[in-house]
Amino acid sequence: MRELLAPDVTCWSDGGGKVTAARRPLYGPDHVARWILGVLAKPQSAGVTLRHAVVNGELGILFTLGEIPVAALTYDLSEDGIRNLRLQVNPEKLTGLRSSRE
């Protein structure tokens, strides 16, 4: 995963005080990759499906549990890899999202 991330990658997450999220931005490919892999390894992540989606007009990834959106990820690409990751896990901000099926 580290190879996909730019050397100056930054990751923000927003739980809105409703669900657990990183309290501060994460910097650097090692820190960001280890945090993401740690989140995905948690029991709460079991059964979550990832799908391509349009999130606020940007290409992103929608994480669903059944048909319920539980997270939305948007990202910026650069020549060096993925530069910025924004992970929205606040349930109140996910209500309008639906997965796009290919």
pLDDT tens readout for residues 58-101: 889 999 998 889 999 999 999 999 999 999 999 999 988 764 54
Can you give the pTM of this predicted structure?
0.85
Which domains, ranges and CATH numbers included, belong to the chain?
Answer: 2-93 (3.10.450.50)
> Is 46 within 8 Å of 65 (Cβ atoms)?
no
Decide: helix, strand or coil at residue 93.
Answer: helix
**CA–CA gap between residue 88 and residue 85 (Å, rounded):** 10
Mind listing the pLDDT tens digit for each residue in 13-33? 999 888 888 889 999 999 999
